Structures are given as C-alpha cells and as structure tokens.
C-alpha cells in the first residue's frame, strides 16, 4: 500500500496528498499507525515514514524500476 508523506514540505495540504514521488510502501497496519495511530510521537512518525521511503526507493532502484538520469 502506498503511503504518501504527511509533511507540508512535501506538498501535503488540507485535502491534498503529497507529491507521488514522496511515497513509501507500507502494509495496511503500518499505514494506519502512521496516519491515525496514537502510539507514536510526531517525530517517530516522521522517522518511520522516512525510513520506509528510503527502503522503497532503494528497492525500486535495485529492481531497475528507477534509474538515475544525468
């Protein structure tokens, strides 16, 4: 499940999702915890999402779904 960033700096706004390049692959449970859970602080949510985003982008490059264009 694609989880968009919830950070304003990524284009998130009221009723507006962040840019599609700022997504992370998360399971349903983790996506819900990130968006609506009460067990994580804001900084923990940001770190959880950032780590998932880094892993997602890494996997996309590793599996040749993305490439660097210079």
Residues 6+ apart with CB under 8 A from 36: none
pLDDT of 8 strictly over 80: no
pLDDT in tens, 31-70: 999 888 789 998 999 999 999 999 999 999 999 888 888 7
Residues 6+ apart with CB under 8 A from 17: 4, 11
Number of H helices, E strands in the chain: 2, 2
Kindly state the average pLDDT of the residues 10-17.
75
The structure's pTM equals 0.80
What is the spatial distance between Cα 11 and Cα 62, in angstroms, rounded to a whole number?
A: 27
Higher-scoring residue by pLDDT: 21, 29: 29
Residues 6+ apart with CB under 8 A from 1: 25, 26, 27, 28, 31
């Amino acid at each position: 499940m694609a989880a968009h960033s919830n950070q304003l700096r990524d284009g998130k706004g009221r009723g507006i999702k962040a840019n599609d390049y700022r997504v992370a692959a998360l399971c349903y449970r983790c996506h819900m915890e990130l968006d609506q859970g009460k067990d994580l602080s804001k900084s923990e949510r940001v770190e959880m999402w950032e780590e998932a985003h880094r892993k997602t982008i890494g996997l996309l490059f590793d599996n040749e779904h993305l490439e660097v264009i210079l």
